[in-house]
Amino acid sequence: MKNIKLKLAYAFFAVVLVVTVVLIFIFTKNIKMAEGTVAYNMYYINGNTNTLEEEKRIINLVDDNTLMFNTVVDEFASGPKNSNQGLILPPEFKIIDKRHKDNTAYIDLAEGYDSLAPNLKVLCTGALVYTLTDMSFIDNVCVSVEGTPITDSGGEAYMFSRNNVKNNPSIDPDKTDRQTVKLYFADNTGAKLVAEERSIEVKQSLTLENQIVEQLIEGPERNSLNPTIPSSTSIKDIKTEEGICYVNLTQAFLRNNSPVNSEKITIYSIVNSLTELDNVNKVQFLIEGEKINEYKGDIDFSKPFERDESLIR
């Protein structure tokens, strides 16, 4: 009898342990979902031209500066992802420690840095400085090798910035991250969507998805196109998780009259614009954080929307 009770006790604790692990996983996943993603510039060396070039990278967007800093440094150190661009980061250039304080990043490199040719040292340092100072809260980078800082002529630790690190003219020294996005607005009939490309300054405080919908609300720049979303529409939150972009709008989106006759055009101007991003496959609409069954009485809002190119002119 005692053995049976003991086995039952073990079974109970095993179930509790499994449930706890599952809950932790769900909680962690929800935290990640709340963070969203953002397009970020990583700077690397073009091995064919010996110049710096940028590579767009989708990374998790977080509110904590230290976590954001560590994420960006680790992503940069992992090297370029698109081998077709000819971008490289020499294997000798290894980051062994990282931290930041105030507006300065402190990066310690492995001794392999000293074995690099002088031109590669300059380019690697430039790539590091431009990548890290693309973060709004980093202005300077202090670089050391195995704990020994790189110093100026007076023996003081040298503070690299965008103003004093060597760079090829094609890279903008200003700390702005601009990206071209494709937005879909209504044509003059209101029955079809037409693409409008627009260069926007990407804010690190918001996901790119959020900024795309903001641009849609502002309306088209071309006179031949018409807005698709009521200008009074407000965004509560927009984030992407596992290919699904969750667009969370206020109740005003349901109450306001669409500037076009077709509610379908309103919906797919958002869906088709967001699915231009590589990390977005579908769009799920939420109102005040909740799924609703219908939009305007005849559009199923309960499931994610896939791209519809039949509406594009």
The verdict on 100 and 61 lying in the same domain is yes
Contacts of residue 4, defined as CB under 8 A and 6 or more positions apart, other chains included, come to none
Does residue 54 have a pLDDT over 70?
A: yes
Number of H helices, E strands in the chain: 6, 16
Arithmetic mean of pLDDT over the chain: 83
Indicate whether 302 belongs to any domain: yes
> Given 100, 126, 160, which residue is the final one in a domain?
160
Would 1 be classed as within a structural domain? Answer: no
In this structure, is residue 32 part of a structural domain?
no
- CA separation for the pair 109, 302 (Å, rounded): 51
What is the DSSP-derived secondary structure letter of residue 48?
A: T
What's the number of domains the chain is made of?
2
Q: Is residue 138 part of a domain?
A: yes
Q: What is the pLDDT of residues 3-28, one digit of tens each?
A: 565 555 556 566 556 555 445 444 44
Do 122 and 210 lie in one domain? The reply is: no
Tokens of 251: 């109740």
Q: Is there a domain that residue 23 lies in?
A: no
Residue 24 lies in a domain: no
Q: What phi and psi, each to the nearest 5 degrees, are found at residue 186?
A: -80, 145
> Of 133, 160, 187, which marks where a domain is finished?
160
What pLDDT is stored for residue 56 in this prediction?
Answer: 82
Q: Record the tokens describing residue 43, joined without a space.
A: 């700077």
- pTM for the full predicted model: 0.52
- 120 shares its domain with 196: no
Residues 194, 124: one domain?
A: no
* Torsions phi, psi for 267 (to 5 deg): -65, -50
The range of the structural domain enclosing residue 49 comes to 37-160
- Whether 193 and 117 map to the same domain: the answer is no
Strand, helix or coil for residue 20: helix
pLDDT tens-digit readout, 87-136: 999 999 999 999 999 999 999 999 999 999 998 999 999 999 999 998 87
The string of DSSP codes covering 121-149 is HHHHHHHHHHHHTTSTT--EEEEEETTEE
Give yes or no for a contact between 46 and 52, defined as CB atoms under 8 angstroms apart.
Answer: yes
Residue 7 within any structural domain of the chain: no
Range of lowest pLDDT (43-57, 202-216, 249-263):
249-263
Same domain? For 209 and 94 the reply is no
- Give 18 or 242, the one with higher predicted confidence: 242
Mean pLDDT confidence for 201-216? 82
